[in-house]
Chains A and B, each alone.
Chain A
Amino acid sequence: MFKLFLLNTAFFCLLNFTGYAQPQEEVTVRGVVVTPSGTPIARASVALAGTRYGTTTDEQGQFDVKAPVGNYTLLVACVGYAAFEVRLHLRKESMKPLKVVLKESKVNLDEVDVVGKTQVQALRETGFSVESVETADLQNQSIQLNRILDWTPGVRVRQEGGMGSNYNYSLNGMSGNAVTFFIDGIPMEYFGSSYTINNLPVSLIKRIDVYKGVVPVDLGSDALGGAIHVVSDSKRKRFLETSYSYGSFNTHQAVVHGQYSHSASHFTTRVSAFYTHSDNNYNVWGQGVNYADASTGFKAVDFTKENPATRFNDQFQTFNGKVDVGFVDKKWADQFFVSLLASTQRKGIQTGQTMATVYGKLHYKEVLLMPHLSYQKENLFTDGLTVSLFSGYSNRKGETIDTAMAFYNWKGETTPHEQGGGEISRNGKSWYTLYEDSWINRINVTYRLPAEFKLGFNYFNSSAKRHGKDPYVSAYRVPHIAPQNIHRQFAGLSLETKKFDERLYVNTFLKWYDFKTTSNELEYFIVDGEYQATAVPIKNNKSNWGGGIAASYKFHPLFLTKFSVEQATRLPTPTEALGNGVLVTNNPNIKPEQSLNINLGLVWGRIPIGSQQGLTVTAGVFYRDTKDQLLYMIASRDDGIYENVGQTLGKGVELAMVYDLNHWLKVNANMTYLDIRNNQRLEDGVPNIIYGDRLRNTPYLLGNAGISANIPNSIQGGSKLFAYLHANYLHEFYLYWPSLGTADTKNIIPSQLVYDLGVGYTLPGERISVALDLSNVTNTQAYDNFLLQKPGRAAFIKLKYQLAYN
């Protein structure tokens, strides 16, 4: 039966033991792969047989392969189509683009050996410890990016609740803001709290690169524990696609994504927009979820699984639109766009730091406008010089509205506010507005040097100003009533080379970091008998140097070793330094975090097992020595502050295996074990009792297992059926230092095993697809954070329609 199912999508089998000759002059073979009716075939494999040269086609069916002059056999293969094979003579003179027509077929392509290298493969073969998650198979599904990334080795996404809730990434044990997010190379923190990895629909994303520990210079910012780089799905021609999903908790998501490009002038317009709404009214129960009133004698009575409470102030709604207008493929620019990002958000705030504190009306609203310019050009002025520029301005207005004059419990019932305060503000109503203006500039330059060297330079500069107001609150209580500023700079220089027929990859880099903050505190002076407030600035300025090296060596075509080391610095974010005016207070004396990160990894595979099966094994170990770690410390039941809290030493291991049957069926499993300890031996010269203790509130044993199948022609010829089942395991961990207190009284985040499954069907022609996803199938009581329960079982259905495509 398996023979009915054919090979799918991009694939990399390093089956050839090619000689490592000195580099020769390369030429490029370009072409397009189409069906007999002219429809482009995406993700077809294109390879020069018996060599390592190859690629896969893009969404327009186009490909280009670089190879030395010579005679080859070109192989083209794709799931559901008969393989194509032709002799090819590559010569220096320019070649006409090829047009390859594939006929539909149910023949198994077992015998075809295809070699190629996608961007993902190329990235994995660098010395950086990086996982690249391709979303192609999941783009039709209704699944959050956070969930997808949670399946990645070494990654734990800690979400406080449902759709739109706060989240925190743990990358090999480094968490919080130590993990930096980028979208197309730009730090996402300037895009507001709507346009985040939590909310971006998967259909807008091409792939996600997860860097653990050591981060390349071209990402252009400070990052200590790693970086998550979202690469958006940009296509070259005209298209328009739309999708809509609906599911549990009254969750709706609509996405429109399109591009128009004028053939002659190359004038190009892109639009991507999405709308998300969820009531997030899922059930919660257990510790912290209780009610108490006169009927219970004010004794706390917990809700149970059989009689749960329902979240009632957790609605989330966001609209995001992004328009790019510009040109592509011009002499003076490969891409030049003037863009505008606009987003709005409204979300209820259901709880305080834990579910023990309930809010009924408290909510947050945000509006963001971000005009920006981007420019990219290869071979600018001279061969080998590539320049990429970005400049943007971001204006954000966030409002925290606390005007309910009542107290809520988990029944959703209210009692009059005895004190006449808001829900978090004890002094009457509060409507706090935080204004933030930011400028972001980045320049990225690479220059190809002789002897296969490449020089890279990156400079990033950002400044943010925050001020706040509240019409209901006495001026002296309003955070940021005097403006506060942060200015951050980053510069990086890298030198990269590939030697010995690309068996050796080395990237060495130097980084410089600088930040300045100005916090203002009001002081009152008597002037002419009247008190007058004067803002007294508190300035803080820190600079740091860092650097490192990433290298890989392929001892054997199936065996790659990787090594990377970096002395890294992470500058405080605006929220860490200046606070957010509501739940986070400012820290004028904050210092950057610093860490020595070392990674060692190996990739073994794809190891053929018989003629149709393969196994890929990836293993890695890492070391993190962190100083001045910035952690959010809960200061009261409502607010906290970011503080430099000391030193940690982390070691860890991760192992991942992928078994595939002819590439259409994949079974994968991975596990990560972290051993991160308090590394502060002395405190004020006296032995520290928690020295050597495992880091509190940090997951340390996690694992994933999954099976997925991509089955072509399953119901109709030309259709695709995709199905997956995934299990995600998290081992229990302590909220506080493990060695302190009596074991049976300690607060824990419990072990949990959560299953997700889904199925998607794409009709012939790939214009219409429908998908069904079921998350937390067993309705497990799941937590990422102490006493903050996540949603139980939920179902979603999604319809995707591609309106036009050429």
Chain B
Amino acid sequence: MKRIKRFQTLLALSLTTAMFLASCKKDDPRADEQPELMNYFVGIEVGEEYYMVPSKDIMSGSISVVGNGIEGIAHHAVVKDGYLYVINGDEATLDKYKITETGITKEDAISTAAVMSGSFARYTDLTETNDLLLMNFPNDEGNAPYAIIDIATFTVESYGSFKMPNVDRYKPSWCRAVVSGDKVYVGGEYGVPEVYGDIPDSLITIVYDYPSFTNPKTIISKASGGSVAGYRTNGSFKDEKGDIYQWNLRSNQWASNPEDVPNTPCVFVKITDGEYDDGYAFNVSEEFDEPVSIWNAWYAGNGIAYANVILESDLSVWDNLYENYGQLYEIDIYNKTVTKLNIPKAPLSDIFSLNSVKDGKFYIPVCVKGGNANIYEIAIGGGPGDVKVGAKLDGNNVYAPSLNILN
């Protein structure tokens, strides 16, 4: 009996294996039946109008908003496990869209008005615990609203506000967080709001327990001054080793002139084990012949970040942020090198979310004012010329504030 049973089991296993292998054959027509989901999501602004345009290809052809795209959403999106999560400002909701082979379909919505009481969700970030962290800046009292949404169940785990302390005479005005383990690191911009031009000569981060946002602890780096709250994108990111890196926004168009608070260059700094690592600072300004500022940086992995660098001499007025003065640089934060990429100058400072690393490539939309708009593919760590021009976006009056990829 045992032998017969063993034989039957072996036979069953053999048949199953054979069927499985047969199903994997390349020429099996059923292999083509697997639905190919939309996997690229390009946020598009046309004036004051916003669209999220799904695409299956970002390296050839064109991605047009004419006749395509979901109206009303473009800036803050997260793609995870077959769903796209996006802040809907018109209806004060966080919308959940199912990604399909033809586009996205709205499935659910959480009222951000209810959980961000008296405020609104300025941005949403995916945490390492697969939560969505909604936040806004602190008010004059230093209270910043937040909500934590569990992605798996699409429910509100917790919400409320946390208090950011004053540091000496400086008050918090912007903030953005990155979660690491049971801590959340809230990079801050500090200053004296009544008086533009008075900022501390240091970088300030408040560390809280996560997800409770309790036990605030202020950590300070003297590597430079300015904001580590980011601009449109986060000012902090976590690398594969578990360290947190920050870049600072420091410009004559932001809070104060650098000469008002001297010795405050553009830097990358590191936080290890809950404290600033005073042994690490990458002075990016020293890599340039004239003063520069960073307006957005994105981490692509393996110590490589991409940053939008603008010459301070080009920023005589605020509106120049929207001119072709932004240059993308590859910054190796481990080896402390800066590489100018062979990508045209463009306004890159209003890119709100880029979750666009795939197969060792980093993708970014570049919309040259008065010129072409394209997706660019950059081989991470590949040098200045290892860049490809991808899909063409619509004309000049289109700006792409986000690109999210379903991996």
Q: Which residues of A contact B (CB under 8 A)?
A: 287-288, 290-293, 297-300, 354, 356-358, 407, 409, 415-423, 426-428, 474-477, 524, 531, 633-634, 637, 645, 683-690, 696, 736-737, 739-743, 745-747, 787
A selection of 10 A-B contacts at a CB cut-off of 8 Å is A356-B113, A409-B114, A415-B117, A419-B119, A420-B143, A476-B195, A686-B370, A690-B397, A740-B51, A787-B90
Known contacts A418-B145, A634-B48, A747-B72; A356 and B90 CB within 8 A of each other:
yes
**Set A474, A475, A745: member contacting B71, Cβ < 8 A:** A745
Known contacts A292-B110, A356-B113, A683-B396; A419 and B193 CB within 8 A of each other:
no
Residues of A within 8 A of B66 (CB): 689, 739-740
A773 to B213, CA, bound (A): 58
* CB of B67 closer than 8 Å to a CB of A: yes
With a 10 A CB-CB cut-off, give which of A690, A740, A742 has the most chain B CB atoms. A740
* CB of B109 closer than 8 Å to a CB of A: yes
Residues of B within 8 A of A683 (CB): 395-397
Q: Which residues of B contact A (CB under 8 A)?
A: 46-49, 51, 64-72, 89-93, 103, 108-111, 113-115, 117-120, 139-141, 143, 145, 155-156, 159-161, 193-198, 369-371, 394-398
Shortest Cβ distance from residue A409 to the other chain B in the assembled complex, whole angstroms: 7
5 closest Cβ contacts across the A-B interface? A686-B396, A292-B111, A684-B370, A427-B140, A407-B117
Contact in complex: A419, B395 (CB < 8 Å):
no
Contact in complex: A637, B89 (CB < 8 Å):
yes
Contact in complex: B69, A685 (CB < 8 Å):
no
The chain B residue sitting closest to A300, CB to CB, is B111
**Set B69, B70, B71, B139: member contacting A426, Cβ < 8 A:** B139
Shortest Cβ distance from residue A631 to the other chain B in the assembled complex, whole angstroms: 9
Contact in complex: B71, A740 (CB < 8 Å):
yes
**Set A357, A421, A531, A686: member contacting B194, Cβ < 8 A:** A531
Shortest Cβ distance from residue B299 to the other chain A in the assembled complex, whole angstroms: 29
With a 10 A CB-CB cut-off, give which of B91, B103, B113, B196 has the most chain A CB atoms. B113
**Set A288, A291, A687: member contacting B91, Cβ < 8 A:** A288
Shortest Cβ distance from residue A791 to the other chain B in the assembled complex, whole angstroms: 22
Residues of B within 8 A of A685 (CB): 370, 396
The chain A residue sitting closest to B111, CB to CB, is A292
The chain A residue sitting closest to B51, CB to CB, is A741
Known contacts A418-B145, A740-B51, A742-B69; A428 and B139 CB within 8 A of each other:
yes
Contact in complex: A297, B156 (CB < 8 Å):
yes
A475 to B192, CA, bound (A): 13
A733 to B289, CA, bound (A): 54
Contact in complex: A633, B48 (CB < 8 Å):
yes
Contact in complex: A687, B118 (CB < 8 Å):
no
Shortest Cβ distance from residue B293 to the other chain A in the assembled complex, whole angstroms: 21
Contact in complex: B194, A474 (CB < 8 Å):
yes
Known contacts A686-B396, A690-B397; A421 and B119 CB within 8 A of each other:
yes
Contact in complex: B395, A689 (CB < 8 Å):
yes
The chain B residue sitting closest to A524, CB to CB, is B195
Contact in complex: B156, A298 (CB < 8 Å):
yes
Residues of B within 8 A of A423 (CB): 118
Contact in complex: B395, A356 (CB < 8 Å):
no
Contact in complex: B117, A417 (CB < 8 Å):
yes
Residues of A within 8 A of B143 (CB): 418-420
Shortest Cβ distance from residue A446 to the other chain B in the assembled complex, whole angstroms: 45
**Set B114, B118, B395: member contacting A688, Cβ < 8 A:** B395
Contact in complex: A684, B120 (CB < 8 Å):
no
Residues of A within 8 A of B369 (CB): 684
A70 to B294, CA, bound (A): 91
Known: A688-B397, A689-B398. 14 other contacts (CB 8 A): A299-B108, A300-B110, A356-B92, A418-B161, A419-B117, A476-B194, A524-B197, A531-B194, A684-B369, A739-B66, A740-B69, A742-B67, A745-B71, A746-B71
Contact in complex: B113, A689 (CB < 8 Å):
no
Shortest Cβ distance from residue B115 to the other chain A in the assembled complex, whole angstroms: 6
A55 to B168, CA, bound (A): 82
Residues of A within 8 A of B47 (CB): 633, 645
Shortest Cβ distance from residue A352 to the other chain B in the assembled complex, whole angstroms: 9
A741 to B69, CA, bound (A): 4
Residues of B within 8 A of A696 (CB): 49
Residues of A within 8 A of B371 (CB): 686
A633 to B156, CA, bound (A): 33
The chain B residue sitting closest to A422, CB to CB, is B118
Residues of B within 8 A of A476 (CB): 193-195
Contact in complex: B111, A419 (CB < 8 Å):
no
A690 to B141, CA, bound (A): 44
Shortest Cβ distance from residue A519 to the other chain B in the assembled complex, whole angstroms: 15
Residues of A within 8 A of B109 (CB): 299-300
Contact in complex: A420, B395 (CB < 8 Å):
no
The chain A residue sitting closest to B160, CB to CB, is A418
Contact in complex: A292, B193 (CB < 8 Å):
no
Residues of A within 8 A of B398 (CB): 689
**Set A407, A477, A637: member contacting B118, Cβ < 8 A:** A407
Residues of B within 8 A of A687 (CB): 395-396
**Set B91, B92, B118: member contacting A417, Cβ < 8 A:** B118
Contact in complex: B119, A426 (CB < 8 Å):
yes
Contact in complex: B195, A354 (CB < 8 Å):
no
Shortest Cβ distance from residue A639 to the other chain B in the assembled complex, whole angstroms: 13
A2 to B72, CA, bound (A): 57
A689 to B399, CA, bound (A): 12
Contact in complex: A419, B46 (CB < 8 Å):
no
Residues of A within 8 A of B141 (CB): 419-420, 427-428
Shortest Cβ distance from residue A200 to the other chain B in the assembled complex, whole angstroms: 34
A690 to B117, CA, bound (A): 37
Contact in complex: A739, B194 (CB < 8 Å):
no
The chain B residue sitting closest to A475, CB to CB, is B194
Known contacts A684-B369, A740-B66; A293 and B114 CB within 8 A of each other:
yes
A672 to B84, CA, bound (A): 43
Residues of B within 8 A of A354 (CB): 90-91
A645 to B114, CA, bound (A): 35
Residues of B within 8 A of A645 (CB): 47
Contact in complex: B139, A420 (CB < 8 Å):
yes
Residues of B within 8 A of A475 (CB): 194
A358 to B67, CA, bound (A): 33
Contact in complex: A524, B196 (CB < 8 Å):
yes
A633 to B194, CA, bound (A): 28
A287 to B396, CA, bound (A): 33
Known contacts A419-B145, A736-B49; A292 and B117 CB within 8 A of each other:
no
Shortest Cβ distance from residue A553 to the other chain B in the assembled complex, whole angstroms: 44
A288 to B90, CA, bound (A): 9
A747 to B108, CA, bound (A): 18
**Set B70, B89, B114, B156: member contacting A741, Cβ < 8 A:** B70
A740 to B90, CA, bound (A): 17
Residues of A within 8 A of B110 (CB): 292, 297-300
The chain A residue sitting closest to B109, CB to CB, is A300
Contact in complex: A740, B49 (CB < 8 Å):
yes
Known contacts A418-B145, A418-B161, A684-B396; A747 and B71 CB within 8 A of each other:
yes
A737 to B72, CA, bound (A): 12
Shortest Cβ distance from residue B114 to the other chain A in the assembled complex, whole angstroms: 4
With a 10 A CB-CB cut-off, give which of B71, B103, B145, B395 has the most chain A CB atoms. B71
Residues of A within 8 A of B69 (CB): 740-742, 745
Contact in complex: A300, B117 (CB < 8 Å):
no
Residues of B within 8 A of A474 (CB): 140, 193-194
